[in-house]
């Protein structure tokens, strides 16, 4: 095929996709899907084969092609690709808005529900139909003509605003650089960070060292730089990204107010009191009050621990580091020094043992021992030379799925870490379509000829994203709308990912995935024991930080009026309630809160703590039966990972654990 976005015969041809391919492909696929929807909306008799299957065929092709474009826009962003993405975005948004409001299709799915017994629909297909009817209502299908038009216009504008928000954060991050030729400013920085900074300056034709806001540079500066002024310089630049303090065209302030206003209007059109209620319509939690009560209960349990953490840090900074005041740009630095003093190790010392290849081998060994699966290198067209590709094979040699691994930070790549599904599992007449996923991180690349090394936090991030990937790869469901993470309540999606993090704290696992970058020696047991003793170091402060973000998100979407109130003032009120580490008033955290303004976590950021209750309790089942690892892994795979969205998440949990979730395991794992 001349246009790789129209080629669905095999793996995506990421290396061949050009910006010029985007619009022609989207035009063709939208036309195809529109025609299929029209036929499905009037076909008789109404059956699964005449309505659901042809509609899924056409929309899947469009979704897969658009996903490829969106993915490239996130990981290899260029002006030309961004322009092509933004030009096609309205057409894609318009199509799916119209699909969600299609009265004829809504009626067809109502007929499927009414005739479910006569048609012999199994429990999975009944779940698909029930979800579809819910989504039609949430998409505005029950509105009158005027309401539908306004709802579609809101969706269109929200899609554009979310894309702009993300672009502003990316551009503001990439725009900053501090170049110094004074090596004294770099005192305390790890050798690999200094080497990478030197290489970055050389690439720009500069002498000295180039420091950026990319995480592999920014976080080490905050953690290890002895130059307090340098820490403050980067902290301020990071905290003011995409705000009124920079170029007006990158200011996310106006976008935030508009996004909130549109979401509130969208919820009102559908009869909800606020956007939080609308968001929770597809989640385990039922009301904003329930969520806030959960968060406040957890905050009450964590506050005493957090205050003690803060008091200890202030005393250490004053008495040992000669810091009379503990400024925000001192927190990470002082915390690392306190950790070293108390537990006799540093994160940088540990990092030397977590070399990339050994970490990956250890990760794949966990997958093998839990689920009897084998990970093997594979080949595929990729979007960047650093990307790796693997296949996941079951014990009998059957291909389960495949995944890409894009580990390193670079300019033009969105920050953070995430998993995306590129192709979902689906049972077709001609065979089973296997899942294909992308795992993306932003770690530092090896320098001076040495392999990349990861901090222990980065190792847990990798395991976290692999947990999401396994949720997608190990689905046993053949119906697209509820396979993998499709149809899973958003506040349960983090269960498999957070669950995987626990294996980064098991000695046998850690020893096997470490080899010192210089000596090849595994991590010493004594050092691991000190890490383990420090596992819950400042867990109170960390818990309150997450609760601060979650409460802010929920209150922002539950009755907040951006025309009458100020976003930053709301954030300060939340901090008055729960924070022990106050962020400066000039900091513009909301302007960079991509999770809720450019991701899927609006009125859903609480999901991280909500799902942590589930994941900690699930892992406790493995702790309780250490001699039955494989058997417990089989049950976890069968009852949770393989089920996708084919039944409610709480039923999945009960089937695995035999009871409702208990917060006790989370509190125990957190040392609280």
* CB-neighbour burial class of residue 131 (10 A; exposed 0-12, middle 13-18, buried 19+): middle
Phi, psi of 374 (to 5 degrees): -120, 130
β pairing state of 426-428 and 418-423: unpaired
Q: Are 494 and 612 in contact (CB under 8 A)?
A: yes
Cα–Cα distances in angstroms (integers) from residue 481 to residues 124, 401, 466, 561, in the given order: 10, 18, 22, 35
Q: Are 112 and 119 in contact (CB under 8 A)?
A: yes
Q: Which residues contact 60 (CB under 8 A, 6 or more apart)?
A: 424, 426, 480
User: Given the structure tokens 């065929």, which residue do they identify?
Assistant: 57
End-to-end CA gap in the chain: 58
In the residue annotation, 465 being an active-site residue is answered as yes
Q: Are 218 and 212 in contact (CB under 8 A)?
A: yes
Q: Which of these is catalytic: 56, 465, 489, 548?
A: 465
Q: Which residues contact 38 (CB under 8 A, 6 or more apart)?
A: none
DSSP 492: G
Q: Which of 432, 445, 371 is nearest to 401 (CA)?
A: 432
Cα–Cα distances in angstroms (integers) from residue 669 to residues 307, 329, 543, 661, in the given order: 19, 28, 12, 15
Distance, CA of 23 to CA of 575 (rounded, Å): 45
Cα–Cα distances in angstroms (integers) from residue 560 to residues 243, 258, 281, 464, 588, in the given order: 21, 13, 19, 33, 18
Helix runs in 474-537, H state only: 495-501, 507-512, 525-533
Q: Which residues contact 307 (CB under 8 A, 6 or more apart)?
A: 540, 580
Q: Are 495 and 618 in contact (CB under 8 A)?
A: yes
Length of the chain: 672
Distance, CA of 448 to CA of 234 (rounded, Å): 25
Distance, CA of 198 to CA of 192 (rounded, Å): 10
Distance, CA of 367 to CA of 373 (rounded, Å): 6
What are the structure tokens assigned to 612, written together? 């942590």
Q: Which of 445, 443, 488, 444 is nearest to 468 (CA)?
A: 488
Residue positions annotated with a catalytic role: 465
């Amino acid at each position: 095929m001349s246009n790789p976005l129209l080629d669905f015969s095999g793996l995506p041809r990421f290396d061949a996709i050009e910006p010029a391919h985007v619009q022609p492909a989207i035009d063709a696929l939208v036309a195809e899907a529109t025609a299929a929807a029209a036929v499905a909306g009037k076909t008789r008799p109404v059956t699964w084969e005449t309505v659901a299957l042809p509609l899924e065929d056409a929309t899947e092709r469009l979704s897969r092609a658009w996903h490829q474009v969106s993915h490239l826009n996130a990981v290899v962003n260029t002006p030309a690709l961004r322009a092509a993405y933004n030009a096609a975005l309205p057409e894609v948004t318009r199509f799916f808005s119209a699909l969600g409001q299609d009265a004829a299709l809504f009626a067809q799915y109502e007929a499927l529900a009414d005739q479910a017994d006569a048609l012999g629909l199994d429990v999975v297909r009944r779940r698909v139909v029930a979800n579809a009817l819910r989504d039609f209502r949430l998409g505005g299908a029950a509105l009158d003509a005027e309401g539908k038009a306004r709802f579609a216009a809101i969706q269109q504008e929200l899609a554009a605003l979310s894309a702009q928000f993300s672009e502003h954060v990316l551009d503001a991050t990439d725009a900053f650089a501090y170049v110094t030729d004074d090596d004294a400013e770099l005192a305390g920085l790890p050798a690999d960070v200094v080497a990478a900074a030197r290489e970055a300056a050389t690439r720009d034709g500069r002498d000295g060292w180039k420091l950026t806001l990319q995480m592999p540079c920014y976080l080490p500066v905050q953690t290890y730089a002895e130059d307090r002024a340098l820490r403050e310089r980067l902290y301020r630049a990071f905290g003011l990204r995409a705000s009124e303090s920079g170029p007006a065209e990158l200011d996310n302030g106006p976008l935030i107010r508009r996004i909130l206003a549109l979401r509130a209007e969208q919820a009102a059109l559908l009869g909800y009191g606020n956007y939080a209620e609308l968001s929770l319509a597809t989640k385990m939690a039922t009301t904003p009050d329930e969520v806030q009560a959960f968060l406040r209960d957890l905050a009450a349990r964590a506050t005493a621990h957090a205050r003690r953490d803060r008091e200890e840090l202030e005393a250490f900074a004053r008495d040992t580091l000669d810091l009379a005041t503990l400024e925000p740009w001192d927190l990470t630095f002082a915390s690392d020094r306190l950790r070293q003093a108390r537990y006799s190790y540093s994160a940088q010392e540990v990092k030397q043992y977590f070399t990339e290849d050994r970490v990956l081998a250890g990760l794949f060994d966990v997958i093998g021992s839990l689920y009897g699966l084998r990970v093997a290198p594979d080949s595929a067209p990729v979007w960047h030379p650093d990307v790796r590709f693997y296949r996941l094979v079951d014990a009998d040699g059957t291909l389960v799925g495949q995944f890409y691994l894009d580990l390193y930070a670079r300019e033009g790549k969105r920050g953070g870490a995430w998993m995306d599904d590129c192709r979902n599992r689906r049972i077709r007449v001609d065979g089973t379509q296997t899942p294909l996923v992308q795992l993306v991180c932003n770690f530092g690349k090896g320098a001076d000829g040495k392999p990349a090394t990861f901090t222990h936090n980065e190792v847990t991030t990798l395991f976290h994203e692999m947990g999401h990937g396994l949720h997608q790869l190990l689905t046993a469901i053949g119906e697209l709308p509820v396979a993998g993470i499709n149809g899973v309540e958003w506040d349960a999606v983090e269960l498999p990912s957070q669950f995987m993090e626990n294996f980064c704290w098991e000695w046998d696992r850690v020893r096997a995935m470490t080899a010192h970058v210089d000596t090849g020696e595994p991590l010493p047991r004594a050092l691991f024991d000190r890490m383990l003793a420090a596992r819950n170091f400042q867990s109170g402060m960390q818990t309150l930080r997450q609760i601060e973000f979650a409460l802010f998100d929920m209150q922002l979407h539950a009755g907040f009026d951006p025309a009458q109130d100020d976003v930053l003032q709301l954030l300060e009120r939340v901090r008055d309630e729960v924070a022990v580490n106050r962020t400066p008033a000039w900091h513009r955290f909301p302007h960079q809160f991509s999770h809720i303004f450019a991701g899927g976590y609006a009125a859903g950021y609480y999901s991280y703590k909500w799902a942590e209750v589930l994941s900690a309790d699930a892992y406790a089942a493995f702790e309780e039966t250490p001699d039955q690892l494989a058997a417990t892994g089989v049950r976890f795979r069968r009852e949770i990972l393989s089920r996708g969205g084919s039944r409610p998440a709480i039923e999945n949990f009960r089937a695995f654990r035999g009871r409702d979730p208990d917060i006790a395991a989370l509190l125990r794992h957190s040392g609280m």
